[in-house]
Amino acid sequence: MKDLSEYLNKFKVTLFKNEDKIEVMREIINTVTCLDLKPNDISIKGDCVYIQATPLYKNEIFLNKKKIIEKFKEKNLSYITELR
């Protein structure tokens, strides 16, 4: 049964619009790190999320990278494997 749910989650991920994905990512990063990023600061290319912010923000995000990626998986963004 788990295989079926994983299969259906793939379709759920593809149904998200890019803006929706970025908003979900922004909320996750905000809850984990207490940093308020703008939607313009986040971009998605393939399986990587690129963050354009100050070095202080980037350091805080990369210190909590594992937690953030785990939260992405909980929110059906499991294809994201890297933060840069």
Average the pLDDT over each of 3-17, 21-35, 47-61 and give the range with the smallest value: 3-17
- 29 and 68 in contact (C-beta within 8 Å)? yes
**What is the C-alpha separation between 39 and 42, in angstroms, rounded?**
6
Amino acid at 28: I
For residues 5-20, average pLDDT: 69
* Nearest CA-CA partner of 60 in 36, 40, 24: 36
Q: What is the pLDDT of residue 77?
A: 80
Token pair of 64, please? 């909590």
Q: What is the mean pLDDT of residues 51-56?
A: 93
Indicate if the pLDDT at residue 12 is higher than 70. no
